[in-house]
Amino acid sequence: MDRGGCQMNGGGGGESIGPDRQGMITLEDLESFSEDQLSDSGNGSLEEGETMEEEEDQDRLLHYWQDVARGHQVDVPEDMAEPIQQLTTNNDGRSSREHVPFTLLTRKEKCGELLYEKRHYEKGHWACITMREDTYEQSICYGFMRIMRYICEQNSLGHYLGMSLPIVTVVRTDESRSVFSHDVTVAYYLPAVHQAQPPQPSDSDISIELWPATIVYTRPFTGPTNEVTIMNQMNTLAELLDSPNVCVNDSFIIAGYTNPAHSHRQNEIWFLERR
């Protein structure tokens, strides 16, 4: 990718991002919330069977997101009301969420515990945006909001494209994997119906990239994603691999599957095999 590289081909170091910022918002903090979760927020919960007008519904959802983001030094603009409403409405059921397809190659376990998987991902089109905000978390969340607009009608088809999981972020480090770069790429896999002819984004900073077929070493983990947990997971996976040098060593991927209201967020860290 021209603007920092959406594919895992490095990108070098950057400014250090310290653990004191780990309380900031993460990608998963800007995913959709169910109606039950929204009713717990205290922002205009409804009695069972009560109907809300579309405009009021959008305002309620927007205000909820703004309240969540405000505590993390992130502003959710007013024009996010419609994309938020669309994403929430269309993602009420898991069946509407398409997963990025892959072939499992090997699986390493110890005493019944999964250590890591080796997978093969076919080439596919991804919508990508590379951000450079003041903090790592701000780059992720502002990038995801712009990807949301693309998913929700700001595209050449003019309609909702459908949600796919995981939403991934490409994170770049120095070669020792000790310093994070502020340049963070947020990427969304185009659902199968749009792979042959990807809708073009209205946002000129979003590019449609054809990522090549890739071998991925991946390890699941639960809980929040911040600099401390990411670094710990990265070091753990490197120690578990028999030959960590076969992987790219200055960039990696965090894949998010569930939203933050879930008691145990489902994430993965991905190392990509060198080509």
First to last CA, the chain: 17
- Partner residues linked to 242 by β-bridges: none
pLDDT in tens, 125-179: 999 999 987 777 777 778 888 998 999 889 999 999 998 999 999 988 877 767 7
Instruction: With beta carbons less than 8 A apart as the criterion, state whether 130 and 3 touch.
Output: yes
CB-CB contact of 184 with 27 (8 Å): no
Q: Which CATH code fits 19-23+98-272? A: 3.20.80.10
Q: Is 258 helix (H, G, I), strand (E, B) or coil?
A: coil
Measured CA to CA, the distance from residue 231 to residue 178 in angstroms comes to 8
C-alpha distances (whole Å) from 221 to each of 4, 84, 114, 175, 257 are 27, 27, 10, 23, 11
Both tokens assigned to 107:
């699986």
Identify the pLDDT of residue 124.
Answer: 97
Neighbouring residues of 121: CB distance < 8 A, sequence distance ≥ 6: 100, 101, 102, 211, 213, 214, 215, 216
d(C-alpha 93, C-alpha 109), whole Å: 31
> Would you place residue 97 in the very low, low, confident or very high pLDDT band (cuts 50, 70, 90)?
confident
- Give the mean pLDDT of the chain: 77
In the chain, DSSP assigns E strands to 97-99, 103-110, 113-121, 124-131, 163-165, 167-173, 180-189, 207-211, 214-222, 251-256, 266-272
Find out whether 15 and 128 touch, Cβ atoms under 8 Å. Answer: no
The pLDDT tens digits of the residues spanning 252-269 come to 999 988 754 444 678 999
Nearest in space to 219 (alpha carbons), one of 231, 203, 204, 236: 236
Domain ranges of the chain: 19-23+98-272
Enumerate residues 6+ apart whose C-beta is below 8 A from 104.
117, 118, 119
- Give the three-class secondary structure for 79: helix
pLDDT tens string 52-92: 456 677 777 777 766 766 666 677 767 777 777 777 766 65
